[in-house]
Each structure stands twice: as structure tokens, then as C-alpha cells.
Amino acid sequence: GAGVSQSPSNKVTEKGKDVELRCDPISGHTALYWYRQSLGQGLEFLIYFQGNSAPDKSGLPSDRFSAERTGGSVSTLTIQRTQQEDSAVYLCASSPIGMRFYEQYFGPGTRLTVT
Amino acid sequence: KNEVEQSPQNLTAQEGEFITINCSYSVGISALHWLQQHPGGGIVSLFMLSSGKKKHGRLIATINIQEKHSSLHITASHPRDSAVYICAVRDFGNEKLTFGTGTRLTIIP
């Protein structure tokens, strides 16, 4: 079946502009995760959704970052007033229920470049 | 906050060699994950373990909860195993992963 998809695959934006990154999880997966991988740095957790709720937003780096999930499916990560330090690969993953019971499946990522 | 350290950072080996990658963490966890990131960037979950040992094909993962340490072993390594291997830990009661910085493995034919 189809895996996790993300769009766009690449996004170049000017500093100060807003961007929206989209994640389509595997159908039926209730858990959804956003991560960020900056150049030369490791992966970092951003936010976790269970259904449409976000029980853990602790990784969002500032209030310029927000995310929502609708219909228990598609999720959008929004970055307002982008800064150069926001340049990174943003990865989405989904899991059938959650990682306590199942592994997670990663999407291909969106490479964001802020100029 | 859990600190996750991996060693080595980089590893180059000849095809056929037995490979070991290590991961240590500072605070007790509910589970540890091993991930593989291919040169193109795609990430695959290899193992999720909370105790003992798991095996999948040529890959073996072990964890020692008392010592807060895990190892990933690759037997009969092959050039297609070349990738970055990432260790991540999950604390009790949540779904948040804390990641190590990864080990870049290169297998030379």
C-alpha cells in the first residue's frame, strides 16, 4: 500500500514568509509525528498527534511553529515569518496506534531552504 | 532530558566484516529504536526494543537496561548496508523520541 507522503519535496522561501508543509500518513494510522533534521545535526522531535489532538507539542521551537491535523489524517506544519535557522529537512512519520506497540513509518521529507 | 550518545561517529569496513554500533543513554527509558537513513535521505525503522535481543536477517539489536546501553550488529556486511544508523530512545509515558547523532557506515566492496 501507499506509504507516508509529504509535499512539497523541496521548498525555497524568502526570510519572513510563511510556509506550509503537508503530511499524508498511511491510511488508518492514528499516530502522526513531525521531526526536523538540520544540516549537520541529528533528528529532533517537534510534535505528536493522536487522532486530531496533539498531546505533545514540546518540541516546537517557537511560537512561529504550529501544526494541525484534520479528519485524523492529513497534517500541516506551518512556519510563520521564516528565519534562516528554520532551514532543514522536515520529516513526518505515522504509526498504527503509537510507538508503544508499533514502529513508525517515515515519509521522504520536505527540504526547506530559507534565503 | 535524556542524553543519547552513539559510537563510532563514522565507520568504514570491508565487505563481509562484522559491524557493531553502540548507543548509550543517560536516563531510564521505555524503549529504544534503531533507524536506518539511506544516502537519499529515506528513514526506515529497523528495531524497537525494550529488553533482550531482536534479530532480523543479518541485523541484530541488543539492549542492556541496567547499563543503559544498546548495540546494533550487522553480520556479513554488504555495500548496500552503507547508511547512517540512528539510535533513539523513548521515555516512559510519552511518544517523544530523543535521537543520537547517528553513525555513518560505509562498506567497501
Runs of H (alpha helix) within chain A: none
Q: Extract the runs of DSSP E, i.e. beta strands, from chain B.
A: 4-7, 10-14, 19-25, 31-37, 43-49, 52-56, 59-64, 69-74, 83-90, 97-99, 103-108
Taking contacts as CB-CB distances below 8 angstroms, the residues of chain A near B96 are 45, 48, 56, 58-59
pLDDT of residue A1 exceeding 70, the answer is no
Taking contacts as CB-CB distances below 8 angstroms, the residues of chain B near A59 are 96
Residues of B with CB under 8 A from a CB of A: 30-31, 33, 41-45, 48, 86, 88, 90, 94-102
Q: For a pLDDT cut of 90, what percent of chain A falls above it?
A: 85
Number of A:B CB contacts under 8 A? 54
Higher pLDDT, B32 or B93: B32
Distance from CA of A18 to the nearest CA of B (A): 25
Q: What is the CB neighbour count within 10 angstroms for residue B1?
A: 6
Taking contacts as CB-CB distances below 8 angstroms, the residues of chain A near B31 are 99-100
Give me the pLDDT at residue A2, please: 85
d(CA B32, CA B65): 10
Q: Which of A32, A106, A110, A112 to mutate to test the interface with B (most CBs of B within 10 A)?
A: A106
> Taking a contact as any Cβ pair under 8 Å apart, which residues of chain A between 1 and 30 contact chain B?
none
Cβ(B40)–Cβ(B55) under 8 Å?
A: no
- Sign, CA torsion A85/A91/A95/A101: negative
| Per-residue pLDDT tens digits for A22-62 | 999 999 999 999 999 998 788 999 999 999 999 999 999 99
CB neighbour class for B18 (10 Å; exposed up to 12, middle 13-18, buried from 19): exposed
Q: Cell numbers of B3, please?
A: 542524553
